[in-house]
């Protein structure tokens, strides 16, 4: 589906800033980006945008269900496209790498715990923090996930 159609489906008008941001999220080499990551990446790609707009649009995307906001330990909010199913996260405290996982047993036990406590569950966040294999074995992470794309392949226009 086109980005424009995705915005429409989410009940959002198709505007250039929104297209740029959605496009950046879809094409960036890193999946979990802060508002400023998105902003800087767009500037680096030669796109013009305001930081406040990035914040505003990311929040709209969150409310529309287009992106998920995460609050990893100690840091600012990071956003990821809501294109895969639900999953939880393993964060390396050394290199910042984020590994995603889904564990059916954990999900089921969570539901059970909620049921037993009389809670109707809305959502949950499970973040695990540790040190990844790359750092432990090679002293540094194999892939530098902090690198942002210098060119935005889509979002080119006119």
Partner DNA sequence: GGTATTATTGCTAATAATTTGTACTAACGT
Partner DNA sequence: ACGTTAGTACAAATTATTAGCAATAATACC
109 binds, among a second copy, Mn ion, Zn ion, none (CB under 5 to 8 A by kind): a second copy
* 125 is an interface residue for a second copy by CB under 8 A: yes
Instruction: Find the helix or strand (DSSP H, E) in which 99 lies.
Output: strand 98-101
Check binding of 16 to a second copy (CB under 8 A): no
Residue with token string 């040190």: 131
Contact characters 28-67, DNA, x per CB under 7 A = ------xxx-----------xxxxxx-xxx-x--------
In the list 85, 118, 150, 158, the residue contacting a second copy (rule: CB under 8 A) is 118
Closest CA to 45 of 24, 61, 59, 65: 24
- What's phi and psi for 150, nearest 5 deg? -85, -25
CB 123 within 8 A of CB 62: no
| Binding range to Zn ion, per CB under 5 A, among 10-18, 55-63, 92-100, 111-119 | 92-100
Does residue 155 contact residue 120 with C-beta atoms inside 8 Å? no
Contact positions vs a second copy (CB under 8 A)? 71, 73, 90, 92-93, 99, 101, 103, 105-106, 109-110, 113-114, 117-133, 136
């Amino acid at each position: 589906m086109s980005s424009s159609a995705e915005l429409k489906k989410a009940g959002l008008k198709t505007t250039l800033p929104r297209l740029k941001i959605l496009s950046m999220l879809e094409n960036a080499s890193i999946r979990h980006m802060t508002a400023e990551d998105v902003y800087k990446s767009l500037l680096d790609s030669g796109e013009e945008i305001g930081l406040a707009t990035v914040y505003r649009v990311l929040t709209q995307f969150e409310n529309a269900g287009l992106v998920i906001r995460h609050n990893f330990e100690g840091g600012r909010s990071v956003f990821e496209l809501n294109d895969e199913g639900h999953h939880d996260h393993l964060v390396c405290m050394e290199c910042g790498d984020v590994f995603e996982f889904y564990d059916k047993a954990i999900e089921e036990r969570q539901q059970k715990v909620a049921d037993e406590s009389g809670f109707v569950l809305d959502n949950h966040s499970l973040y695990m923090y540790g040190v990844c294999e790359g750092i432990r074995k090679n002293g540094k992470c194999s892939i530098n996930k902090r690198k942002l794309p210098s060119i935005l392949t889509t979002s080119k226009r006119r």
